[in-house]
Amino acid sequence: MTAFIDRLADATARQASMLCVGLDPEPARFPGAWKGDAARIYDFCAAIVDATHDLVCAFKPQIAYFAAHRAEDQLERLVAHVRRVAPGVPVILDAKRGDIGSTAEQYAREAFERYDADAVTLSPYMGVDSIEPYLRWDGRGLILLCRTSNPGGSDLQNQLLDGGERLYERVARLAAGPWNRDRRLGLVVGATFPEEIARVRAIAPTVPLLIPGVGAQGGDAAATVRAGWRPDGPIIVNSSRAVLYASGGEDFAAAARRVAEATRELLQRERGS
């Protein structure tokens, strides 16, 4: 498989997009006769993929939304569907795993063999040995939680360390330096903190940034691009609920496309300004 960072760069350029659509299916919000039917998770997500695959630089399925409904088989089918209809668009498995040793090896096998993801999100707070098992899969990306968009993220991530560095800054420095031996690492930085996106970008100028929080969580798309995008520093701006649930009716896929297209255009305009 082509390395994740190369697939990302190619999709970003070819699609003229920094937008990632998050696939967080909630059957209670499905349209019409599908409402409440977990057996329709694949159908709903595949319709979103079909409607938006030419507008995005990545898709990001969140594993919990599938596993909670015993729909892991539908997730496998969904990734295979992405491969068919959008073979150049990378898939980021949002799993936020964080363990070591043989357990981490099994999580890596789950992400990269079972689900065939191009990249996976990880928690780095057990140190470098929680990351190393994933590096055995050549070319796959590892995107580390750094400065997340939830209010409670400050409880730990914003704590001041000896020497005056914040914890999230230390994570960024490690990901840009000694941990990033073969350009496989990225960082998660929430769109609700544009000043801290800029700080992470200053520390890690070329590391890909996965930026959730645009749309339903209130993140400012324009401020996100200004803070994070650089010609040699890609950003992956994720929007989930604002796209998936743009309409509760039978036109949900068309509505999702309209929102995705408008978001992509906003991001691109800000990049060019």
pLDDT tens digits, residue range 53-68?
999 999 999 999 999 9
pTM of this prediction exceeds 0.85? yes
CB atoms within 10 A of CB 109: 15
* 154 alpha carbon, distance to own chain's centre: 20
Which residue range forms the structural domain that includes residue 81?
4-272
Residue 60 appears among annotated catalytic residues: no
Enumerate the β-bridge partners of residue 19.
237
Would you say 117 and 58 are in contact if contact means Cβ atoms under 8 Å apart? no
* Rounded-to-10 torsion of CA 103, 108, 109, 115: 130
CB atoms within 10 A of CB 173: 15
Residue-level pLDDT at 271: 82
Residue-level pLDDT at 32: 94
Q: What is the CA radius of gyration of the chain?
A: 18
Which one-letter DSSP state was computed for residue 177? T
Q: Is the pLDDT of residue 270 over 80?
A: yes
Residue-level pLDDT at 219: 63
For the segment 73-89, the average pLDDT, to the nearest whole number, is 98
Catalytic residue among 29, 77, 81, 96: 96
Number of domains in the chain: 1
Q: In the chain, pLDDT over 70 holds for what percent of residues?
A: 97
CATH of the domain at 214: 3.20.20.70
